Amino acid sequence: MPKDTSILVIRLSAIGDLVLVAPITAQLAREGYGVTVLCKDAYRSVASCLPGVKAVLSWEKDRAGIKAQVIPFDEVLDLQGTSKSKHWCGQLNRPIQTYHKPYLRRALLLLTKQKSFKLTPVVQRYASAAEPFFSGGFSPKAAEYRLCLPEVQLELPQQPYIALVLGGSYAGKRLDFQAWREIMDGLSRLKMPLVLVGGPEEAGMGESLEQPLGSGATNYCGTTTVIEGFKVIENAALVISGDTGFMHAAANFNRPLISLWGATHPALGFEPWPVYEKQRAVVTTSTLSPISKHGKVPWWLPNPMRKLPLDEVISAAELILQDKTVP
């Protein structure tokens, strides 16, 4: 590869998908590529945290300025892999490597619920698309792929705390108020501060969950940016989260993690990456799971998150936190 070869990496959304690009951009930079990421404008702050990235462009604002005849990149890596991104890439007069989505296998998994159709983890699929750029194959290094957070002014609890991620893009990824209340009651015997993380949609629930605990809980729902939320996750002694971008951030930071699965399932390939010892997955007992890739639940079906074994969440937390070697 010529020195100073530039590469445009396309991954438009969302938070978790971009976090999972971190080991790819890290290795591209190690191999000597100048990496630029193209994403949706709403996620530029996340893409800016990816290791090895020199610049971030907005899909909405900047793509029109990237003309085939003057494109300032030597290579293109399309990790979106949709018809929209493929059509746009097809207009560029540059070599393009594309991420291929396993549509048929995923459809069979969703239809039959048979885990024998388990999908390859998405990071490995990203790496397969990027393989031509890696001189010795995909070789992620923990010291390189960690998200690079900017300095933020955020007051965190002085004691080790448990971060509870209340949000989720769809109902099939979210627990309701009563479920969180039961989990928090069970965690109370650990005598650790609880920190609630979520967006504006979870602000009301966060406030209601926080009030009975007084100083024993801190509610950041609706009051922090995504990057500030990452900082909360990065410093937590334990993170409990559904299938969200914050779950993927917790894994990137190698935090002790309990992931919760309802309408989605680890077999769909979006399990936390990397896998490490202080990580547990608690999966719904509903036979309907998985229902969808994104967590959408049709109106005529019950939400599988309602059958999440909450006692397993509490016991997993106790087991992980008993180990005093938690980093």
Provide the token pair at 285. Answer: 């007992």
Q: What is the pLDDT of residue 72?
A: 87
pTM: 0.95
Q: What is the pLDDT of residues 233-273, one digit of tens each?
A: 999 999 999 999 999 999 999 999 999 999 999 999 999 99
Q: How far apart are CA 209 and CA 199, in angstroms?
A: 15
Tell me what pLDDT residue 69 has.
63
DSSP-derived pairing of the beta strands 238-242 and 162-165: parallel
- Other Cβ atoms less than 10 A from the Cβ of 197: the count is 27
β-sheet bridge partners, residue 6:
34
pLDDT at residue number 212 = 76
Number of Cβ within a 10 Å radius of residue 266: 19
- Report all structural domains of the chain as residue ranges with CATH numbers, in order of start: 6-145 (3.40.50.2000), 162-322 (3.40.50.2000)
Neighbour tally for 111: CB within 10 Å:
9
| Calpha distance 283→140 (Å, rounded) | 28
Task: Read off the pLDDT of residues 43-87 as tens digits, 9 standing for 90 and up.
Answer: 999 999 999 999 999 999 998 888 766 778 999 999 999 999 999
**pLDDT tens track for 76-126:** 999 999 999 999 998 888 889 999 999 999 999 999 999 999 999 999 999
CA dihedral 79, 80, 83, 89 (to 10 degrees): -50
Give the single-character DSSP code of 170.
Answer: S
Distance in angstroms (rounded) separating the CA atoms of residues 198 and 176: 13
Q: Cα–Cα distance between 180 and 200 in angstroms, integer?
A: 17
Range 273-280 contact pairs with CB under 8 angstroms and sequence separation of 24 or more: 273/20, 273/23, 273/121, 273/122, 273/123, 273/248, 274/140, 274/142, 276/251, 278/320, 278/323, 278/326, 279/251, 280/316, 280/319, 280/320
Dig out the tokens for 106 from the structure.
Answer: 């995923």
pLDDT at 327: 47
Confidence class of residue 326 from pLDDT cuts 50, 70 and 90? very low
What span, in angstroms and rounded, lies between the C-alpha atoms of 45 and 51?
13
